[in-house]
Structure 1
């Protein structure tokens, strides 16, 4: 049985740990670290699929007006760009994983067993991420007001945004819930994870935002 002094030390230690974990200054973004450094994993898209969908692998240029270019949102997108929706529409159509806003769990499982063949932990985490995010994207889009979306820049095809939203959500989910077996626990990675886990962006679409 613990003595009174030992019990006191445990309580103090717990309180200090809680204070440290809660002490995240959301006004100060930590130095940027490539997410793949903190959660090293194979590319989700195979070389064969990249070649098939190469013509869709384009992202619109960042905003150039003064307000947008200096905003938190523009910096967040610079470091964590939203995946090109047409590119991932192509990827999902080729694999059959996600079509017409429906997730095919059997095809997802087969694909994850190939690309993440060395980590069953990663397969499980990715499956949970896709399932959670597909539901959230569907809920988000069902609540969108009935209005036309912005026109794409000249030269860009018109594609539904749900594929890009889904992949953005899945990527962030994987970074937050990176399996212990592959996670990098360096101080930089820990600071980055705590910031994006506890600090909400001032604005931005929910499917690729902090709640996912």
Structure 2
């Protein structure tokens, strides 16, 4: 028992040592790769026919054929890909007729598709719940973003799905359970950067 406690304390001390050794400079954005954050918090891998179908229908570019889960895209990709987000949410029937998140449908979806991974199911449901009440305010903020105004001449769909998805990706990254977190240098740097430089990255 004493030995086990010592080993745990040593592991924690090593982790804290690594975190304290990370020096964050908010101007050095080139060190941070937002498009890699889905590697930091492990989620189930696998082919997703719905996201792929919606990507083809809306000319949305998924990261790769191996990375097709909703969590694989970055927040800025989700925000610009409003038609893709709406298509995915429509296919999974996650919104009601008023474009409001249907939490019963969300629970049903995650219990059906991720019942073999209850921890992931719980974390995603928590993320959706946090984002559920903020949809209207977030939609207003989304529409006022420079990135959206810059693409104002492009084709945009109702933003509710993209706003919710962006919020979910953000929350999943920031509240990742330690058992799912990758302790890679890149992930630790990105999380430290996100906490200190809140106005620098879209994703964070």
TM-score class, shorter-chain normalisation, is 0.5 to 0.7
Kindly tell me: are residues 31 and 95 of structure 1, through their superposed partners in 2, closer, same or farther at Cα, counting changes over 3 Å? closer
Question: Which of 100, 108, 123 is the aligned partner of 1:102?
Answer: 100
Q: CA RMSD in A?
A: 3.4
Question: Which of 187, 194, 197 is the aligned partner of 1:196?
Answer: 194
Greater CA deviation, 125-134 or 50-59?
50-59
The structural deviation recorded for 1:89 is: 0.7
Given that residues 24 and 195 in structure 1 are in contact (C-alpha distance below 8 angstroms), is that contact kept between their aligned partners in structure 2? yes
**Ranges in structure 1 where 5+ consecutive residues have no aligned partner:** 1-12, 60-77
Cα distance in 1 for residues equivalent to 2:87 and 2:48: 13
Question: Which of 107, 111, 120 is the aligned partner of 2:118?
Answer: 120
Q: Summarize the alignment of residues 17-166 of structure 1 with structure 2, pairs less than 5 Å apart.
A: 20=20, 24-29=24-29, 30-32=31-33, 34-42=36-44, 46-51=48-53, 54-58=56-60, 81-83=76-78, 84-99=81-96, 100-141=98-139, 151-153=152-154, 156=155, 158-166=156-164
TM-score with structure 1 setting the length: 0.63
TM-score with structure 2 setting the length: 0.65
Given that residues 38 and 183 in structure 1 are in contact (C-alpha distance below 8 angstroms), is that contact kept between their aligned partners in structure 2? yes
**Ranges in structure 2 where 5+ consecutive residues have no aligned partner:** 1-12, 62-72
Matched length: 167
Cα distance in 2 for residues equivalent to 1:47 and 1:56: 14
Cα distance in 1 for residues equivalent to 2:51 and 2:129: 22
Kindly tell me: are residues 81 and 203 of structure 1, through their superposed partners in 2, closer, same or farther at Cα, counting changes over 3 Å? closer
Query: Who is 1:66 aligned against?
Result: none
Cα distance in 2 for residues equivalent to 1:44 and 1:159: 27
Greater CA deviation, 110-119 or 88-97?
110-119
User: What CA deviation, in whole Å up to 9, does each residue of 1:123-163 have, x standing for no partner?
Assistant: 11111111212322322335778xxx76433xx3x411221
Kindly tell me: are residues 43 and 114 of structure 1, through their superposed partners in 2, closer, same or farther at Cα, counting changes over 3 Å? farther
- Tell me which structure has the larger Cα radius of gyration: 1
The structural deviation recorded for 1:174 is: 1.0
Kindly tell me: are residues 80 and 90 of structure 1, through their superposed partners in 2, closer, same or farther at Cα, counting changes over 3 Å? closer
